[in-house]
Structure 1
């Protein structure tokens, strides 16, 4: 079920957390593998600019802007809006992925995430179908 899948992912993440500092370049060298993946998921957890300021700070953060271009054909960025809702942005390499396909990926992602949250006891194969 979706609930079991999420529990397994949580357990796996907890198990590998002590190794989160290991770089992808080091993993690739150690495994002898070529490209490890071509998709990136980023969770933006520092969007609360006011929350970054501490008592006594003399340097103020006035805004955070991501102006860099990812080096992956497809990047999913998960941000929090000022009112606390999640916002999902797909950044893609237009030379490799066409806009209609990227929109369909985002729709499928949204349906799947919605199903995970609203139907946790559904079989995984039935999500977003």
Structure 2
């Protein structure tokens, strides 16, 4: 269960990086204290002069909001896919250069780069 909660926290942090600017000022402040300053819920509650339960509820609401943004906009998924494609293109180029392979691998790399640049989107 610990790993799952760590994965959830990492995902929430990544979603906050992508969509944090769409949150209210209070939500942003709370999330910055939670992620950037690594404060506990009780410490955030003291800082913002509210109850620990209020902070817990706020973080849960923000988590749902960020997931809703991602389900509609898919920016995080697109970013992950783009990174995967860049790694693939880099690998193909390295193979091509190492083995003096030409046009076929370079065409694969070109298709990947076209996809990343939006030519095929």
Q: Which has the higher helix share?
A: 2
TM class, shorter-length: under 0.3
Give the alignment's TM-score, normalised by structure 1.
0.26
Larger Rg over CA atoms: 2
Query: Which structure exhibits the higher relative contact order, with contacts defined as CA atoms closer than 8 Å and separated by 6 or more residues?
Result: 1
